[in-house]
């Protein structure tokens, strides 16, 4: 007989194991048989052995008894130990895949559920690592994860940049602190033949968005000789490579003055001279540009998540429609609009429907789709890990009328 588990047991109610057996990693509190295995007895953030209603092991999970999403499966092997060696092995698997995909150490090293680390994000900036812990279990295990990273990568510094709604749901306070070594005020990113600096402490997320790497590279093919508008430019991830790819002029819009300061510095660093920045609200700026009669040949529309929770769905989906409508009004005939959404709660079909609604007054066609790059792997049974959607939209040109034949 197998030895008793060193971890406390949580048993599911009858038939509530179906999602886990289908491959998903999440368990909700209303799926637990709290009469046989009370959630209230579990230490928040600890590891538990998950069992079905008949007592058959389903694996080991981080548990937070105070949240609706109360457990996240770490391993389907109930006999492993969740320790430093466990995390080192998982990290080695993630690293091996990235090293095969990318020639330089600038990438997302760990993408949550997609890499078997539910609730954890790690972005790599060469010798520096920036972590986001979005679950109580991962937050508690940070010492083991940090030790595993040190032994595997020998980084110069590890920064925890943990904030946002996910942590608040877990009952966690925001944390920005150095876990190991030192972290400079700015980190460097080499991407798409451009060198960027980012602010890991004060910038968005970990400072950079690796997920759009492939989409940025693809857009460069459309940049030659075109007037470009980047509506949520941040520190220049789209705007600068498009400028270097031959755009005739680039207008970069963002509501963050500190982000635009870094964008301007990044433009100088990459010897970009045809870029102007506008500090302001994106929608208000789009209206102002329309009122001035401006048009652009290539527009990038990549807003932050406009739907942060299910209750925001209606208002947020309308916002996507309005942004696409305004962008299409500014798009010149023959132009390209790249319209993206990183909202988990907005699926591909809904984004497409809002684009279609906005496109009714013109002649548009979708010529391609974009998604998150390959260092953001999708767990095949966890659709929530596939969050980034993007469409390449072309405004068709009216053909000139044929000249009348002369007698």
Out of 5-9, 98-102, 134-138, least confident range: 5-9
Cα 229 to Cα 234, 242, 301, 388: the distances in Å are 13, 10, 9, 21
Between 313 and 367, the more confident residue is 367
pLDDT at 407 exceeding the cut of 70:
no
Domain span(s) for CATH 3.30.750.80 in the chain: 84-184
Beta-strand (E) ranges in 283-330? Answer: 296-301
- Is the Cβ–Cβ distance between 37 and 60 less than 8 Å? no
pLDDT for 401 equals 63
CATH of the domain spanning 9-75: 2.30.130.10
pLDDT for 395 equals 96
* pLDDT tens profile 341-376: 999 888 999 999 999 999 998 999 999 999 999 999
CA-based nearest residue to 132, from 165, 85, 99, 86: 165
pLDDT at 403 exceeding the cut of 80:
no
pTM: 0.94
Measured between alpha carbons, how far is 387 from 378 in angstroms, rounded to an integer?
9
Domain span(s) for CATH 3.40.50.150 in the chain: 188-395
- Is the Cβ–Cβ distance between 72 and 48 less than 8 Å? no
How much of the chain, in percent, has pLDDT values that exceed 70?
97
Question: Which CATH superfamily groups domain 188-395?
Answer: Vaccinia Virus protein VP39 (3.40.50.150)
Cα 38 to Cα 30, 31, 32, 34, 199: the distances in Å are 12, 12, 8, 4, 44
Domain span(s) for CATH 2.30.130.10 in the chain: 9-75
Cα 389 to Cα 184, 348, 356, 375: the distances in Å are 33, 6, 15, 15
CA-based nearest residue to 90, from 112, 115, 114, 113: 115
Phi, psi of 52 (to 5 degrees): -80, 180
Question: In the 8-state DSSP scheme, what is residue 32?
Answer: B
* pLDDT tens profile 277-307: 999 999 999 999 999 999 999 999 999 988 8
Helix (H, G, I), strand (E, B) or coil at 83: coil
Phi, psi of 40 (to 5 degrees): -65, -15
Measured between alpha carbons, how far is 362 from 365 in angstroms, rounded to an integer?
10
- Is the Cβ–Cβ distance between 75 and 117 less than 8 Å? no
pLDDT at 229 exceeding the cut of 70:
yes
pLDDT at 1 exceeding the cut of 60:
no
Q: What is the mean pLDDT of the chain?
A: 94
**Of 48, 70, 194, 342, which is the active-site residue?**
342
For range 43-51, the mean pLDDT? 97
* pLDDT tens profile 101-151: 999 999 999 999 999 999 999 999 999 999 999 999 999 999 999 999 999
Q: Is 231 a catalytic residue?
A: no
- Residues contacting residue 318 through CB under 8 Å, at least 6 positions apart: 354
* pLDDT tens profile 70-88: 999 999 999 999 999 999 9
For range 172-195, the mean pLDDT? 96
235 — pLDDT class (breaks 50, 70, 90)? very high
CATH of the domain spanning 84-184: 3.30.750.80
């Amino acid at each position: 007989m197998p030895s008793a588990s060193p971890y406390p047991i949580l048993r599911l109610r009858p038939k509530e194991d179906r999602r886990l057996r289908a491959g998903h990693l999440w368990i909700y509190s209303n799926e637990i048989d709290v009469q046989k295995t009370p959630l209230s007895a579990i230490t928040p953030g600890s590891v538990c052995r998950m069992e079905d209603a008949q007592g058959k092991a389903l694996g080991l999970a981080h548990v937070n008894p105070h949240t609706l999403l109360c457990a996240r499966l770490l391993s389907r092997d109930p006999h492993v130990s969740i320790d430093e060696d466990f995390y080192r092995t998982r990290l080695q698997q993630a690293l091996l895949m990235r090293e095969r995909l990318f020639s330089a150490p600038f990438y997302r090293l760990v993408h949550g559920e997609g890499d078997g680390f539910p609730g954890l994000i790690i972005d790599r900036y060469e010798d520096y690592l920036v972590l986001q812990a979005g679950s109580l279990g991962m937050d508690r295990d940070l010492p083991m994860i940090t030790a595993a990273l040190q032994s595997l990568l020998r980084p110069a510094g590890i920064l925890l940049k943990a904030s946002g709604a996910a942590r608040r749901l877990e009952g966690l306070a925001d944390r920005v602190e150095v876990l190991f070594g030192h972290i400079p005020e700015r980190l460097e990113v080499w991407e798409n033949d451009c060198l960027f600096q980012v602010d890991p402490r004060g910038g968005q997320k970990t400072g950079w968005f690796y997920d759009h790497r492939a989409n940025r590279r693809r857009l460069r093919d459309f940049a030659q000789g075109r007037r470009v508008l980047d509506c949520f430019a941040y520190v220049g991830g789209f705007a600068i490579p498009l400028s270097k790819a031959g755009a005739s002029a680039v207008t970069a819009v963002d509501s963050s003055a500190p982000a635009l300061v870094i964008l301007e510095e990044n433009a100088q660093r990459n010897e970009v001279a045809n870029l102007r920045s506008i500090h302001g609200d994106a929608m208000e700026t789009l209206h102002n540009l329309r009122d001035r009669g401006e048009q652009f040949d290539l527009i990038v529309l990549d807003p932050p998540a406009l739907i942060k929770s299910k209750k925001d769905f209606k208002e947020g989906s309308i916002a996507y429609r309005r942004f696409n409508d305004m962008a299409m009004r500014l798009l010149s005939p023959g132009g390209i609009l790249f319209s993206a959404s990183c909202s988990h709660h907005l699926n591909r079909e809904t984004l497409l429907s809002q684009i279609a609604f906005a496109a009714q007054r013109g002649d548009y066609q979708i010529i391609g789709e974009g998604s998150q790059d390959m260092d953001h792997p999708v767990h095949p049974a966890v659709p929530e890990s596939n969050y980034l959607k993007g469409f390449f939209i072309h405004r068709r040109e009216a053909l000139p009328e044929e000249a009348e034949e002369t007698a």
